[in-house]
Homo-oligomer: A and B are copies of this chain.
Amino acid sequence: MAAKPTKQSPIPSVWARPRREADQPTLSRATIVREAVVMLDAEGVEALSMRKLATRLNAGAASLYRHVATKDELMELAVDEVAAETHVPPADSPEWRAAAAEAAGSFRATALRHPWLSSVLGQAGLAYLGPNLMSFSERLAALFTSAGFAKPSGPIDTLLSYVIGMSTTEAAWLITVARSGETEADFIARLMPAAQQAAAVHEHLAEGYADAVSATVDPVALRDEKFAYGLDVVLDGLALRLEA
């Protein structure tokens, strides 16, 4: 609605009156959250303001508050919205390790697809009660109990902590890269001198950086590998617990 009415209210005619526009359905919690996610993906967390979001929806800023109590609440809804993208294999799959690995990878993938997610997860208002995150946990619980763990909360928390921690770090890195406007490889190349200088005092770190400089490989593959390594470590540790 509201196809920008002119400043002064004009002739009070039915025809001049703004008509509900059919293309943009109506303002609703769902449309608001969906558009918020689009904006967050496109411009990051600090570019999302209630006013800009409202403008995108052909609405006034105050209108949003009819469907959403507060911006923080909007954020929680946005988190749960993208949580729907995660995928956990069914519990009856024969190999629990592969299933857990796939669930973990799926979480990481959505966290990297929506890098703002990680910044928001650390914020206060717990979105952990949202239906989609809930069902993610539930499916993990099903997976681990069917795998033989007596109490699945231990494995769940361990796996999720690792995945969240790694994804947060990666997402923060990706945001920084994106902000530079360069490709990841170029950004790394430009950052190396400073990093090396900062690491020069620390013998063990300097060694690692020296390696990194020679390896001009695909940075994406490098991150994938790093994630896989830690994931394997965690799953190994869990497997050990399964035999007792």
Contacts and interface: CB of A to CB of B under 8 A. Distances in A.
A179 to B, nearest CB: 6
Interface string A220-244: 0000001001101111111011000
Identical chains bound together, number: 2
A18 B235 CA distance: 65
15 contacts: A119-B119, A122-B168, A124-B176, A129-B195, A137-B202, A138-B199, A138-B203, A138-B204, A152-B204, A152-B208, A161-B169, A168-B168, A233-B240, A236-B240, A237-B237
A123 B122 CA distance: 9
Interface in A100-155: 118-126, 129, 131, 134-135, 137-138, 141-142, 145, 151-155
A235 B234 contact: no
Given A142-B204, A202-B138, A204-B152, A124 B175 contact: yes
A36 interface: no
A166 interface: yes
Contacts of A237: 232-237, 240
A176 B125 contact: yes
A194 interface: yes
Nearest to A126: B176
Nearest to A197: B129
A172 interface: yes
A182 interface: no
